[in-house]
A and B are shown apart, each in its own frame.
Chain A
Amino acid sequence: MGSALEEAAPADGRQPGASRHHVLRIRGLTVGFKGDPVLTGVDLVFPRGTITALIGPTGSGKSTFLRTLNRMNDRVPGYYRKGEVELDGQSIFAPGVQLMALRRRVGMVFQRPNPFPLSIMENVVAGVRAHGLADRAGRRRIAEARLREVGLWGALAHRLNESPFRLSGGQQQLLCLARALAIGPDILLLDEPTSSLDPVTVEAVEDLLRRLTPAITVIVVTHNLAQAKRIAHFTAFFNQGRLVEHGPTARVFGDPSAEETSRYVTGRIG
């Protein structure tokens, strides 16, 4: 994988994060819900400060994989798992691990915007408040900083006490991004975050994700192959519960080693 890192450079010529450490390492991960496994024997590393795109046909296990990384599957009935996920060398499944702490470090944004029925302001700092990270004034500053970061401050500065459900879908999604960023995660998991957004907002989100690296490691599930090419340093291709191929984005798309990958990225399966 070391050489893969060197090769990795997205189309705009940026270099991946300075640190070569793998912030996340997945080893022999098998996951299922009752019956047959949904994911089998996944080995994968995520270098710190990079963007990795997870691609693959529908039902290939991308969301299941993503949700395993912050243990969102734990409470799903019938869930079982083998293998390891190591965050900075420590198993996230070890008995002493605090879910609260894990999820502060590993944030998540969902496919459909899911603001809480609180005011816009309270939404942005919901996590900050839950973790007791700042007092009232501090929360206000954090809210402003994060709304600026996602580009909503201009539109929302005077509407902070309104309901988030009066915002457009794209604005709601940006709000959810701001909410996830507000608790300062190391890793951000995104499950098809732009699939319901208009092209302009998609571009805004992509710009934001680029700006977040190398401070944050981004893992993003996407069905939009062009998006993967635009933003991801690395791409992992899943098919039928297996990780088929993983490497620098340019190589996975330009010179895939597996026949399956080649068929998928040229639009012949999926």
Chain B
Amino acid sequence: MARMVGAPAGEGTPLPALPPLQGSPGWRRRVANRLAWALAGLALVVILAPAVWIVAGVVYRAAPHWHWSVLTTPGDRPTLALPSGGLENAVLGTLLIMAGVTLVAGSIGVLSGIHLAEQARGRVGDLLRGASEVLAGIPSIVLGYVGYIALVVGFHWGYSLLAGVLVLAVFVVPYVAKSTEVALRQVPTSYREGAEALGMPPGYALRRVVLRTALPGITTGLIVALAVAAGETAPLLYTANYSDALPTLHLTHHSVGYLTDVVWTFFNLPSRAEVQLSYDAALLLIVLVMLLIAVSRLVIGLTQRHAEPARG
């Protein structure tokens, strides 16, 4: 319907005359516009500045004394260059824990996200979503303590990889499930209907068309969850304890070292070598998270070759 300018009275309220094409917008609009941009810019700075400051600070302190041998020296084998030992045990421990969390939280989280988006409607769905939100709201240290009581003591697993992985997985599963659900809900109806109209069975359509479309959202959610898990210390203190020795593949009864503990504990120790190690560990954590992000971008890039370009 064309807009009627100066429509006859009785047919709604007449609109004011059209503005000239040339000329500047009113000052109110200009001020509002500037203000909005300024606030957006400020928000960006508020987010970016601390991130840049932290990364720069860590690199600045870690780089001058960096020894590649920290990667190949475990904490219980001091060398001349590394009088307090290296970080091999902690790096491997963190990688093992992350792999475990990816496996457990990734599968459970993505599957529950699929269930929430595709099946759980009505009351059951609301119940599940509510439960998931409650779980997401529990502080990680509480989860760690529960894990200690239930897994370490109750199941007699002792301080162990399995207990650490499970507690961290429980901690991040709600994020993974939520981001998966949101990503699936954003898949255009036209894809689902197109698949349905071709007679694809629902499970097949989900795998071949829907999940593929939702993959960037799901991957991003998983990476954020893993990054959060990588940065957690409290739940691991209760469940994995810490060990200077290289981790083994034993699931139970063996303490495991990990980077966040080094950052936290060694920073407060008196020797310079140990404080130095805590900066090295922080740097390695940051690099690890960046690698995670890079890998996820790669996965997304490879699977989204044929994706619909984002509509502005």
- Check A134 for interface membership: any CB of B closer than 8 A: no
Question: A130 contacts B194, CB within 8 Å?
Answer: no
Check B191 for interface membership: any CB of A closer than 8 A. yes
Q: Which residues of B lie under 8 Å from residue A100 when comparing CB positions?
A: 199-201
Q: Which of B40-48, B206-214, B244-252, B289-297 lies on the face that meets chain A?
A: B206-214
CB A67 to nearest CB in B, in angstroms, measures: 9
Q: A163-B305, A165-B309 are in contact. Are A114 and B191 (CB under 8 A)?
A: yes
Cβ of A217 within 8 Å of any chain B Cβ, yes or no, is no
Interface residues of A in 126-179 (CB under 8 A from B): 126-127, 130-131, 162-165, 176, 179
Interface residues of B in 187-235 (CB under 8 A from A): 188, 190-191, 193-201, 204-205, 208-209, 212-213
Instruction: Please give, as numbers and ranges, the residues of chain A lying within 8 Å of B196 by CB-CB distance.
Output: 72, 103
Contact digits for B54-95, partner A, Cβ 8 Å, 1 yes 0 no: 000000000000000000000000000000000000000000
Q: Which residues of B contact A118 (CB under 8 A)?
A: 208-209, 212, 306
A114 to B190, CA, bound (A): 6
Name which of A119, A126, A131 has the most chain B CB atoms within 10 A of its CB. Answer: A126
Complex: A106 Cα to B198 Cα, angstroms: 9
A39 contacts chain B at the CB level, 8 A cutoff: no
Q: Determine the residue in chain B with the shortest Cβ distance to A182.
A: B198
A56 part of interface (Cβ distance < 8 Å): no
Question: Which chain A positions have C-beta within 8 A of B213?
Answer: 117
- Which B residues touch A114, using CB under 8 A? 188, 190-191, 193-194
Q: Does A102 contact B (CB under 8 A)?
A: yes
CA distance A164 to B308 in the complex (A): 8
Whether the Cβ atoms of B308 and A117 lie closer than 8 Å is yes
Q: Which residue of A lies closest to B306 (CB)?
A: A163
B307 in contact (CB, < 8 A): yes
Report the bound CA distance from A108 to B309 in whole Å: 25
Q: Let me know if A264 is at the binding interface, CB within 8 A.
A: no
Complex contact B304–A117 (CB within 8 A): yes
Closest to B305 in A: A163
| In the complex, chain A residues whose CB is within 8 Å of the CB of B205 | 130
Q: Does A218 interact with chain B (Cβ within 8 Å)?
A: no
B: interface residue count bin: 20 to 34
Q: Return A119 CB to nearest CB of chain B, in Å.
A: 5
Question: Any chain B CB within 8 A of the CB of A112?
Answer: yes
Centre residue among A107, A115, A122, A130 by max chain B CB count within 10 A:
A130
- Given the known A-B contacts A117-B306, A117-B307, A165-B308, are A70 and B197 also in contact in the complex, defined by CB atoms under 8 Å? yes
Closest residue of chain A to B121 (Cβ to Cβ) is: A77
Task: Determine if A119 and B197 form an interchain contact, defined as CB atoms under 8 angstroms apart.
Answer: no
Find B199's partner among A99, A110, A162, A163 (CB 8 Å cutoff). A99
> Cβ of B197 and Cβ of A101 under 8 Å apart?
no
- CB-nearest residue of chain A relative to B198? A127
A81-104 to B contact mask, C-beta < 8 Å, 1/0: 000000000000000000111111
CA of A112 to CA of B309, assembled, Å:
16
* Alpha-carbon gap, A107 to B200, bound state (A): 12
Contacts of A110 in B (CB 8 A): 190, 193-194, 197
* Interface contact B193-A101, CB-CB below 8 Å: no
Give Cα A101 to B306, complex, Å.
28
Residue A116 contacts which of B191, B201, B304, B309 (CB distance < 8 angstroms)? B191
Indicate if the CB atoms of A116 and B197 lie closer than 8 Å. Answer: no
Interface check A205, CB cutoff 8 A: no
Indicate if A228 sits at the interface (CB-CB under 8 A). no
In angstroms, Cα B190 to Cα A127, docked, is 15
A90-B196 Cα distance, complex, nearest whole Å: 21
Residues on B with beta carbons closer than 8 Å to the beta carbon of A122 = 306
B278–chain A nearest beta-carbon distance, Å = 45
A24 within 8 A of B: no
List CB contacts (< 8 Å) of B261-312 with chain A: 304-309
Instruction: Select one of B194, B200, B305, B308 contacting A176, CB under 8 A.
Output: B194
CA distance A2 to B194 in the complex (A): 35
- Contact B199–A131 (Cβ < 8 Å): yes
Closest 9 CB pairs of A and B: A103-B199, A127-B198, A114-B190, A108-B197, A163-B306, A130-B200, A100-B199, A114-B194, A117-B307
